[in-house]
Amino acid sequence: MQNAEPFPVAVGGEIGQLLHLLVHRPGDEVVRMTQHELEHLLFDDILAPAETLREHGLLTEILERSGATVHDFVPLLERALTRSPAEAKHELLRAVCELGGALDLYDMLASWPPARLARALVAGIDWSEVDEPKVTLRRMRQRLEGATRALAPVPNLMFMRDPCFAVGGRIIVGRMATEARAREPRLVSFALSHSGVVSAPELAFLPTGLAHSPPYQRLEGGDVLVLSPRQLLIGCSQRTSAQTIERLAEEALFPLFPELERLYAVLMPEARTVMHLDTVLTQLDERLFLGYAPLCTEAEAMPLARLTRDRGVVALRGASVLDVLKDELGADTALVPCGGSERLHQEREQWTDGANAIALAPGHVMLYARNVHTIAALVEHGFTEVAVHLVQPEEQRAELVRTAMTAPRAVISCPSGELSRARGGARCLTMPLARA
């Protein structure tokens, strides 16, 4: 849904009532994945496109029924391509072609209408779609190798949390850790800047140059938890580098956010199983979190450092993530263990995004239904489970979401047979733009 009235970006925390958010409904970019590209494209398996779209559609429906306005990315990008100044469009296409090693496509792309161009920038382009392709060394090489793609797709874009993320009233532009996702921050920041849906968007920490960022310049939104305007947690992970966290703090966060007092860096294992901080920790309510207990409750399982405006970096010896949360938010701050109390279920459900919940409002969250032990642990903490399925009539689904949102605390569970195989939960799939 696109809102006619522009709204300001406003994300001062993780749990305020969701007002506006950005998602990307998976499309042809998923269809164009093959098993031969899984490692490069960061997937563990190819997805069933129709079922993936149905599951994502239900997730989007739940978000809308909870009271949020959901903005779909490709229509937003199309609108931005229609409205943007010629120079801004030129810069975007130049960057996309440069990053994709496809400068020979620039003139053709510049001539395409916005609707076709928006789809192509996400889904990629096959050589069969290129009219009379120029004879280039790239084209000759690809013919030798049997390659069919003139421009690669970006199937990870459905994980809208990562390319850009909102802090306060600004959009922080990410630096993707992998070449396969390098295009995404360009597309998302362009769409937010020129669509007119967001009022006066202020972009921060913009990348320089057209080349993909080197390994030490990495920053992805899944690693950033906004506890309040005063406190942030950032995962130093497989996808976000230590050097970039310090640069982000010095160049953007402390100068641009006068209320910000402390930033905590969480030194995570550099492993795909825990690629972002939100794969092991998300916030559910004012002083309640959901997390992978072996990493979040054990002292120095993930060492922490505190960054402040004037004192630089201070290592926090002997502390756990939960210890820091208690210090910041209150001694009664608690962590619901993803997977429940048994280590076997904790490990299994952390892998299937059991710690990756999205708060629709304080104490009202959405989670994949397959994480049954995590949901049982939430029920023990006073949450009502409301199970929403595709087989239910639309009216019944609407009533279930209304029931959930009026309960004191609720977890809305939704099917995820395909989505969970892509290694990203409800938080990964959403980019909040405004919370109450």
Q: Where are the domains of the chain?
A: 18-75+155-435, 76-151
Alpha carbon 322 to chain centroid, angstroms? 23
- The sheet with strand 164-167 has its strands ordered as 164-167, 170-173, 202-204
Distance (Å, rounded) from C-alpha 192 to C-alpha 203? 9
Q: Give the model's pLDDT for residue 310.
A: 83
Alpha carbon distance 290, 296 (integer Å): 10
Residue 122 phi, psi dihedral angles, 5° rounding = -100, -50
Q: What's residue 138's pLDDT?
A: 78
Give me the pLDDT at residue 136, please.
77
Which of 365, 367, 284 has the alpha carbon at shortest distance from 329? 284
pLDDT at 1: 45
Answer CATH for 18-75+155-435 from 3.10.105.10, 3.40.50.80, 3.40.50.1370, 3.75.10.10: 3.75.10.10
pTM of the model: 0.94
Contact indicator for 123, 28 with CB cutoff of 8 Å? yes
User: DSSP secondary structure string, 107-140?
Assistant: HHHHHS-HHHHHHHHHH-EEGGGSSS----HHHH
Non-local CB neighbours of 344 within 8 Å, separated by 6+ positions: none
Identify the bridge partners of residue 386 per DSSP, sorted by sequence position. 412
Which of 284, 265, 309, 223 minimizes the C-alpha distance to 412?
A: 284
Per-residue confidence in pLDDT tens, the chain, 436 aa: 444 689 999 999 999 999 999 999 999 988 887 887 767 777 777 888 899 999 999 999 999 999 999 999 999 999 999 999 999 999 999 999 999 989 989 999 999 999 999 999 999 999 888 877 677 777 777 777 777 889 999 999 999 999 999 999 999 999 999 889 999 999 999 999 999 999 988 999 987 765 556 667 899 999 999 999 999 999 999 999 999 999 999 999 999 999 999 999 999 999 989 999 999 999 999 999 999 999 999 999 999 999 999 888 999 999 999 999 999 999 999 999 999 999 999 999 999 999 999 999 999 999 999 999 999 999 999 999 999 999 999 999 999 999 999 999 999 999 998 888 888 999 999 999 999 9
- Give the side-chain half-sphere CA count within 13 A for 219: 25
Write the DSSP symbol of residue 168: B
Q: Which residues on neighbouring strands pair with residue 149, listed in sequence order?
A: 126
Q: How many residues does the chain have?
A: 436
Residue type, 6: P
